[in-house]
Chain A
């Protein structure tokens, strides 16, 4: 997965197993140095080091986590609720929940996947209470008339509105799978972790999501 900081993060976390004593000491020393990093240097640490620093009592490590992941978490929420104010509230809720749970985070998944898991749960709970407003038809008319082919752009805009409306009609798990796969660029394994599911179920959900979108678009 590509993080907001542009670095590749994987689902693997360093585990202090099968290490010789000198290696253990060296890695422990590095970790301790990282955990003592000044607040300004926190942004240089990777996610795993930030989590360790937070768990060691460095609350400012959480600020760096927020800065690194806020955009992706916000965009995930924005795609669910399609409203800036609600998306901002939900994204804030995601980070508050993460703050409360980070002491117990063991690193079985990447931090981003864990945040997405919280995000999907928060969004699905919210969406089940409050359905997002349907997209305004005016969105299709927001076409730059200076483009080479305004009619083509208009048709493309209409298709986009229809597709967005079709996505809103998907069952929650299919919608979450589509969001994480297409927009957050998660692997099937990461989606399975985020949704508490299996890779096979994720692929089946993705397949059915695409099939449902085709059906909805054809019928409209």
Chain B
């Protein structure tokens, strides 16, 4: 997968580049809007992650210009501006998703995967880890063919964990992805939901799939960490 990353802040760009490369993405970096347009016009990308506030042309202008030139590569905006009006402007400009800084790398990766899934055939609509299956269209989960009854929140949590597999996701990333409200760090909401989910997925006698990785978060994978 080839990704165009446009970010003028060198440190953010460097960390994102490393994180994306570690996930197997081939990353091209643009430091301003004009460079992003030039790269996008001259190379085929699977997805683009664009900072909004960049020198030269801002992210919205870049996307508008690319769409005018019939380049419809999916775009996710990365920005410090998280107001509703800003999001609406971004999506109206032709963006496909919007992520507000500071964000977790796991969150960015999950959203990139979701963007890519929309471009791919139906087989990508089912996530699998071992004998655990999550149908993203029917919103159902099965383990060894047996349907698991999940609440809306548990489904979102499981989807996030499975789309990040085998990598772990931190508690912070989970709170940000699953809930639209901030939970005080003193509350234990993630652990509570993980316990509920674990009871439903890892029934007695079946292999444990949902693992707690001390200091790193939680992961769904077949092998023990």
Instruction: Verify that A and B bind, or say they do not.
Output: no
